[in-house]
């Protein structure tokens, strides 16, 4: 198992943001993490990459307990992520965004990293060559999301956490994006994805975890999750779930 | 025992004033997100206004008090919020710090020009010399009033925030300003009211403190540092803890003054207690959590290529060579001072402009450099210069290391605390600059080539600036420069890419401190001496402001900043020199929102006139756009 999170609980003052959540991701597969707004999906991402401490629970990455490791130390183990609210380097070009990620990797990686070569490869892979020299804060959201993805890929991660990656993407870009994700997993990369585009999730994910009010209410394959009454109730409300049934 | 009780009362009096001042600071910060460095300056200015009415115009105290505390101060606070602070709501910490520092410097300048510092301004204690006995201890009426006011204001704030609708709105505006607006309240008016109350509280603290200490513009302004310390105990949120912090600091300070008998190297410890308290309070803060959700797109001027940079440097040195034959010796020293300060400002370009880390202690590193040069540089050996840079870099690392867990505002405040600490413990110590207060510093002599003459030294300063300029641009174009830009734009993204933010910040702090150290050594060499008053914390502030006015993101900006410093003396505009604090502050308040400053605007004008546009494909420069949020996408999960 690439990533395993067991019994994760997070409390913000009086609010229980996550309550005893289990989650796992295997290498070479796409796992979905879905749920209505406020379900705790981004908090779960923050817990995994070390931006949020837990009140309870344990996260292991490749069987190593990552408790106490800072975000940059977790990244060096092979964990990369994108953000729901864009966290691009706005004053740099798309090329420089990816280059700086490769250069940062070359600082900590034991492998010899040819930063420029990596950047060229990633640019082609995420199809950003045409806007490589554009400043990222002048780009539309969809392209900026691809820059974030490219930047994460430049770190050569083993696990990629994608937080609403298709938000702002056009239909055409979404199709390209789905194909890209599949090709990445074919190379052995594990992906955990928070996504509101249900069609995309059902299309690319092999397994889905569903959160609601900080609790895991369902997990399974896309058809299993779709048929789950608790999931329908969470998304449509109890009455809606009855109608759907 | 009586003596102990007397000191305790004194400590409570001082502590109550700190608590009142700090509560005003917390109130404004909590409701606007802007830390008002100028809080003490507002109190100072209003205390002087009270003096003007009460003493100079002989108004009755109650009328003068009502006018200043309940009318002028709140109006002033509301005006500051409306004109200056409202536009800074989404600005970066660096921008809002520069603007409030500018405002503080402007108020100091204005006060010094209205109320001549050479003339004594005495404010009598309330009901002086009335006193009475409590448990056998003499308590003055002023002390009793101070304690009563402290308690009354604590009760008033508690009642306001917990029992009134407007107080509820004040607490709500902290949590979610937009949501408060959607619920029918007026967040802007709530913030304005908070600033009005905050200014009144600063005024009360200033008026109560002025008779105990002295009516001194700088002294009263800097007493806010004690307020900062108390506010940090409350972590800029909790008013009860802020009050506790103020009282604790007041008591510790009074007991230390009364019972600690220090001499020698430790003689500066007593006046440093509030700063030490602030430093410890800052270091005790929990490590800042990296937050996502703010996209900062700092507009940066174009970075010249290596050839252009070197050509620019050669041009500067050649120009300095020509100027050295035109300017008189006195003017060469004046212009040279501008160049030496420009070298120190270059360190700020790297640290603040590229790295986004605000330092309020760059003159302190310059002072360390000057000291090393004077003490160990013989009669101007190159070894002294290298030692100046090396030791300043190490000191920079030592101060930065514990503070780097902090971010933005707290990091800037810890550098300010360090500058004040060094000022009192080191620079004002007679073991450092000698009993006369000054240390002889030799001018550089490199392998037998002496730069002793004014002309040669001026050209040397231009050469060092040019060399550092090329060095800074080399960093900017390279991998480390990209990492700095990335860290400034999004620290959280950098961390999730595997970058150690602490090590990166430490590196840039040390390089910048080393550069400032060399600049300080050269500045000392120019003046041939360095003394106790050359490297005060207050001198770091105009340095930062002039760098911002010139343009903190470019080498040209640093040069312009240095020249702006030297210009008034060069053209014999004495009035400009006298008003330097005032115009620097006002210019920083207006230009501080644009980090690229005047230098970049001039360059862009020339570019337009010459018709040279950016190369196609190069990043789009947007020189006039301030550093601020440019996009926020999606809503929180």
**Tens-place pLDDT, residues B424-445:** 888 887 777 776 678 888 888 8
Task: Determine the pLDDT at residue B435.
Answer: 66
Q: What confidence tier does B106 reach under pLDDT thresholds 50, 70, 90?
A: confident
All structural domains of chain A with their residue ranges: 3-78+157-244, 87-155
Contacts of the segment B139-144: beta carbons below 8 A, 24+ positions apart: B139/B9, B142/B208, B142/B211, B142/B212, B143/B9, B143/B10, B143/B13
- Give φ, ψ of B615 to 5 degrees: -60, 145
* Structure confidence at residue A96 (pLDDT): 96
User: Is the pLDDT score of B258 beyond 70?
Assistant: yes
Whether A34 and chain B come into contact, CB under 8 Å, resolves to no
The Cα-based distances of A185 to A30, A191, B352, B410 in angstroms read 7, 7, 41, 43
Q: Quote the strand ranges of B421-580, DSSP E.
A: 438-440, 445-446, 449-450, 529-531
- The stretch B306-328 carries a mean pLDDT of 94
Provide the chain A residues 128-157 that lie in CB contact (below 8 A) with chain B: 133-138, 141, 148, 151-152, 155
R_g (Cα) of chain A, nearest Å:
18
Mean pLDDT of B9-32: 89
pLDDT in tens, A69-94: 999 999 999 999 999 888 999 989 99
Q: Give the pLDDT score at A172.
A: 87
**B499, B500, B619 ranked by CB distance to A93: nearest:** B619
Chain A positions in Cβ-Cβ contact with residue B498 (cut-off 8 Å): 72, 75-76, 104-105, 107-108, 155
Query: pTM of this prediction?
Result: 0.86
For A53-62, B217-226, B294-303, which range has the lowest pLDDT when averaged over its residues? B294-303
Domain boundaries, chain B: 2-283, 305-542
DSSP B450: E
Q: What is the pLDDT of residues B590-636, one digit of tens each?
A: 666 666 777 777 777 777 777 665 443 334 333 333 333 323 222 23
Return the CATH class of domain B2-283: mainly alpha
Question: Which one of B294, B494, B636 has the shortest CB-CB distance to A42?
Answer: B636
Quote the minimal CA–CA distance from B295 to chain A in Å.
6
Residue among B295, B498, B622 with most chain A CBs within 10 A, to mutate: B498
Closest CA to B20 of B206, B195, B196: B206
**What integer is the mean pLDDT of A207-236?**
90
- Report A:101-130 residues touching B (Cβ under 8 A): 101, 103-105, 107-108, 115
Chain A residue with minimal CA distance to B300?
Answer: A91
Contact criterion met (CB below 8 Å) for B487 and B511: no
Task: Answer whether residue A241 shows pLDDT above 60.
Answer: no
The pLDDT score that the predictor gives to residue B74 is 97
Predicted confidence (pLDDT) at residue B562 exceeds the cutoff of 60? yes
Q: Could you please report the per-residue DSSP string of A170-216?
A: -HHHHHHHHHHHHHHHHTT-EEEEE-S-HHHHHHH-SEEEEEETTEE
- Note the pLDDT tens digit of each residue in B324-367: 999 999 899 999 999 999 999 999 999 999 988 888 999 999 99
Strands A30-34 and A207-212: parallel
Indicate if the pLDDT at residue B410 is higher than 80. Answer: yes
Write down the CATH number for the domain with range A3-78+157-244: 3.40.50.300
In the predicted structure, residue B551 carries a pLDDT above the cut 90: no
């Amino acid at each position: 198992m690439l990533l395993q999170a067991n019994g994760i609980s997070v409390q913000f003052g009086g609010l229980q943001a996550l309550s005893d959540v289990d989650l796992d991701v295997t290498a070479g597969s796409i796992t979905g993490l879905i749920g209505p707004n406020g379900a705790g999906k981004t908090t779960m991402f923050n817990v995994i990459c070390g931006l949020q401490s837990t009140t309870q629970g344990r996260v292991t990455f490749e069987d190593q307990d990552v408790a106490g490791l800072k975000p940059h130390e977790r990244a060096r183990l092979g964990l990369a992520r994108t953000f729901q609210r864009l966290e691009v380097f706005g004053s740099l070009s798309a090329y420089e965004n990816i280059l700086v990620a490769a250069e940062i990797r070359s600082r900590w990686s034991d492998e010899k990293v040819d930063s420029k070569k990596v950047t060229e490869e990633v640019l082609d892979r995420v199809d950003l060559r045409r806007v490589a020299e554009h400043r990222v804060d002048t780009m539309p959201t969809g392209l900026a999301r691809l820059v974030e993805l490219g930047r994460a890929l430049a770190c050569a991660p083993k696990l990629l956490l994608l937080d609403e990656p298709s938000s702002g993407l056009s239909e055409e870009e979404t199709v390209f994006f789905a194909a890209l994700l599949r090709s990445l997993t074919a190379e052995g990369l594990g992906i955990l994805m928070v996504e509101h585009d249900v069609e995309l999730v059902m299309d690319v994910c092999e397994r889905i975890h569903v959160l609601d009010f900080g609790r895991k209410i369902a997990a399974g394959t896309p058809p299993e999750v779709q048929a789950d009454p608790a999931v329908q109730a969470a998304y449509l409300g109890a009455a809606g779930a009855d109608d759907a049934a | 025992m009586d003596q102990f009780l007397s000191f305790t009362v004194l400590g409570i009096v001082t502590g109550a004033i700190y608590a009142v001042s700090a509560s005003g600071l917390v109130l404004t910060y909590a409701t606007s997100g802007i830390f008002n460095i100028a809080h003490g300056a507002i109190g100072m200015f209003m205390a002087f206004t009270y003096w003007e009415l009460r003493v100079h115009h002989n108004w009755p105290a109650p009328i003068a008090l009502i006018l200043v505390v309940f009318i002028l101060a709140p109006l002033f606070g509301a005006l500051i919020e409306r004109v200056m602070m409202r536009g800074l709501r989404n600005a970066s910490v660096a921008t809002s710090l520069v603007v409030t520092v500018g405002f503080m410097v402007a108020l100091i300048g204005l006060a010094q020009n209205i109320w001549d510092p050479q003339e004594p301004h005495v404010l009598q204690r309330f009901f002086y010399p009335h006193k009475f006995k409590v448990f056998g201890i003499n308590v003055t009426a002023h002390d009793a009033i101070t304690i009563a006011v402290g308690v009354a204001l604590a009760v008033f704030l508690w009642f306001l925030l917990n029992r009134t609708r407007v107080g509820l709105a004040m607490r709500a505006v902290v949590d979610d300003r937009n949501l408060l607006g959607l619920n029918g309240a007026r967040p802007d008016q709530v913030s304005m009211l908070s600033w009005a109350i905050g200014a009144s509280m600063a005024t009360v603290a200033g008026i109560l403190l002025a008779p105990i200490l002295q009516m001194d513009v700088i002294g009263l302004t800097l007493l806010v540092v004690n307020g900062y310390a108390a506010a940090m105990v409350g972590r800029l949120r909790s008013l009860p803890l802020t009050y506790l912090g103020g009282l604790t600091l007041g008591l510790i300070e009074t007991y230390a003054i009364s019972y600690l008998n220090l001499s020698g190297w430790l003689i500066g410890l007593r006046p440093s207690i509030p700063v030490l308290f602030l430093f410890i309070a800052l270091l005790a803060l929990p490590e800042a959590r990296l937050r996502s959700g703010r996209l900062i797109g700092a507009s940066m001027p174009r970075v010249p290529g290596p050839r252009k940079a070197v050509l620019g440097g050669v041009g500067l040195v050649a120009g300095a060579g020509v100027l050295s034959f035109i300017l008189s010796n006195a003017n060469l020293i004046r212009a040279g001072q501008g160049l030496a300060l420009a070298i120190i400002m270059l360190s700020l370009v790297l640290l603040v402009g590229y790295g986004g880390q605000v330092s309020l202690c760059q003159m302190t590193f310059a002072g360390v450099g000057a000291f090393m040069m004077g003490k160990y540089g013989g009669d101007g050996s190159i070894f002294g210069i290298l030692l100046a840079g090396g030791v300043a870099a190490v000191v920079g690392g030592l101060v930065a290391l514990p503070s780097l867990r902090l971010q933005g505002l707290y990091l800037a405040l810890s550098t300010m605390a360090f500058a004040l600490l060094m000022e009192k413990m080191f620079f004002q110590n007679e073991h450092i600059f000698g009993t006369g207060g000054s240390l002889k510093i030799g001018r550089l002599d490199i392998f037998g080539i002496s730069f002793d003459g004014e002309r040669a030294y001026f050209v040397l300063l231009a050469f060092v600036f040019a060399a550092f300029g090329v060095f800074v641009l080399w960093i900017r174009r390279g991998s480390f420069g990209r990492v700095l830009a990335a860290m400034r734009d999004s620290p959280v993204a950098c961390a999730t890419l595997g970058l150690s933010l602490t090590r990166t910040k430490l590196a840039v702090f040390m390089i910048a401190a080393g550069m400032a150290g060399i600049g300080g050594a050269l500045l000392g060499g120019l003046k041939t001496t360095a003394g106790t008053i050359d490297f005060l914390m207050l001198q770091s502030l105009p340095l930062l402001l002039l760098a911002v006015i010139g343009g903190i993101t470019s080498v040209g900006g640093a040069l312009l900043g240095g020249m702006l410093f030297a210009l008034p003396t060069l053209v014999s505009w004495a009035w400009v020199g006298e008003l330097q604090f005032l115009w620097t502050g006002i210019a920083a308040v207006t230009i501080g929102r644009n980090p690229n400053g005047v230098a970049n605007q001039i360059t862009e004008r020339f570019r337009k006139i010459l018709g040279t546009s950016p190369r196609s494909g190069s990043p789009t420069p947007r020189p006039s756009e301030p550093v601020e949020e440019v996009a926020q996408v999606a809503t929180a999960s």
